[in-house]
Amino acid sequence: MATTVMGAREVRPVRFWESTNGKKVVMAVSGLILFLFVFFHMVGNLQVFEGPEQLNFYGLALRRFPELLWTVRCILLISVILHIWMSVLLVLRKAAARPISYARKENIASSYASRTMYWSGPILLVFIIYHLLDLTAGVIHPGGRFIEGDVYRNVVTGFQVWYVSAWYIFSMLLLGLHIRHGAWSMFQSVGFNHPRHTPILKGAALGVAIIIVAGYISIPISVMLGLVR
C-alpha cells in the first residue's frame, strides 16, 4: 500500500477497517444478520398459537440438523461480537473527537430511539443470555421443571410467571427501539442516503419494528391472559 510523505511526517491511507465508515458498515451488516434471525425466530415462535404439537415439531426440526444449527449459532455469535465491538469503538471515537462536553446539550437532530441505542444494546445482551439460560438450556427456568423437547410447555410455564413476562415485554420494546433506529441508519451506513428517501426509510423502519414487537409480545400476553395454556 502506497504512503505519502509530507515533510518529516509519513501519512498512511486509512484502511477500511480503521475508518469510521468502515466500522459503520460492519455494524450495519452484522445488524442485518441479527435482524434476519430476529424476524425468522419470531415467525417460528408464533407457531405457539397452533398448539403444542406444531411448536414442539418446530423445535424438534431445529435439533435434527445439529451441524446447521451450530453453524447458524456461530454466525450469530460472531455477528453479536462484531456489532458490540464496532458500537464501542464508535462511541470511543466520538468521545475522543469531542473531549469537552457541550455546555447545554440539545437533542434536536437525534430521535429518542437513536439516543437509547447505546444503553439498550447492553440490556438486550443481558436479556439474550437470560433467555438462552431459560428456554434453551433450562438451567434457570422459573416455571417449574424444564422438560427438554417440550418447547410448548416450557414457554407456557415460563410466561405464566409475571415477572418473566414483564422482563420479556420490556426487552422487546427496547428491541423495537433498536430496530427502529438501526434499520434506516443501516442504509445510511452503506451510502444509501437521500433527503427524499429518508422519511420513507424511517416510516418503513417504524412499521417493521412495530410488527416485530407485536409478534413477540403477543406470546407472553396471550399466556398471561390464558389464551395460550
pLDDT score for 194: 66
Asked whether 102 and 61 are in contact (CB, 8 A), the reply is no
Residue 158 belongs to some domain of the structure: yes
Indicate whether 204 pLDDT > 60: yes
- Residue 143 domain-assigned (yes or no): yes
According to the model, what pLDDT value does residue 129 have?
Answer: 94
**Dist. CA 32–CA 81, nearest whole Å:** 14
Q: pLDDT-derived band of residue 175, with 50, 70 and 90 as boundaries?
A: very high
Q: Render pLDDT for 30-76 as a digit per residue (tens, 0 to 9).
A: 999 999 999 999 999 999 999 999 999 999 998 888 899 999 999 99
Distance from C-alpha of 47 to C-alpha of 53, rounded to nearest angstrom: 10
Q: Which of 21-25, 170-174, 189-193 has the highest mean pLDDT?
A: 170-174
Cell numbers for 9, please give them: 511526517
Q: Are 205 and 187 in contact (CB under 8 A)?
A: no
pLDDT of the residue at 153: 95
pLDDT of residue 157: 95
The whole-model pTM stands at 0.83
- The predicted-structure confidence for 86-111, as pLDDT tens digits, reads as follows 888 887 887 777 655 544 444 444 55
At 112, list the grid cell.
Answer: 429518542
The C-alpha atoms of residue 188 and residue 181 are separated, in whole angstroms, by 11
The residue segments making up the domain with residue 43 are 16-98+113-224
Residue 11 falls inside a structural domain? no
Which are the contacts of 117, defined by CB distance < 8 A and separation ≥ 6?
87, 177, 178, 181, 182
Round to whole Å and give the CA distance between 10 and 57: 62
pLDDT band for position 201 (50/70/90)?
A: confident
For 4, the 3-state DSSP assignment is strand
Query: What total number of domains does the chain contain?
Result: 1
User: Could you tell me if residue 183 is inside a domain?
Assistant: yes
For residue 4 the three cell numbers come to 505519502
Q: Does 105 map to a domain?
A: no
pLDDT reported for residue 108 = 43
Q: What is the pLDDT of residues 110-155, one digit of tens each?
A: 555 556 677 788 889 999 999 999 999 999 998 888 999 999 999 9
Domain assignment present for 106: no
